[in-house]
Amino acid sequence: MITIDLRQEPLTLTELLRRAETSVVRIVSATGQVFILEESEESFEQEVERLGKSEKFMAFLAERAKEPAIMSLDEYEQLMGEP
């Protein structure tokens, strides 16, 4: 994912779309709002595949898995109203 801050780098819509052809684009608007521009559902699948192959991301997930849970699955289901 690349980030384009339109407050610092004004681009045309055509230029934004051209960049989205090769990567998911995080856009920060002139007012500071954040948007995500991606090609299609296929790009999400590609991102999942890429993250699955990322040693850095997998190490992050492994570290997070070691952290103690803040609530049990039963508590979560109760909170969400699951039967």
For 5-21, how does the pLDDT look when each residue is reduced to its tens digit (9 = 90+)? 999 988 888 988 888 88
The confidence score (pLDDT) of residue 41 equals: 64
For residues 57 and 50, give the distance between their C-alpha atoms in angstroms, rounded to a whole number.
Answer: 10
Query: Residue 1 — pLDDT band, cuts 50, 70, 90?
Result: confident
Please state, as a whole number, how many other Cβ atoms lie within 10 Å of the Cβ of residue 53. Answer: 9
Lookup: tokens for 17: 């779309």
pTM for this one? 0.45
Identity of the amino acid at 79: L
Strands (E), 11-58: 25-28, 34-37
The confidence score (pLDDT) of residue 61 equals: 92
The answer to whether residues 5 and 28 touch, using CB atoms and an 8 Å cutoff, is: yes
The confidence score (pLDDT) of residue 76 equals: 85
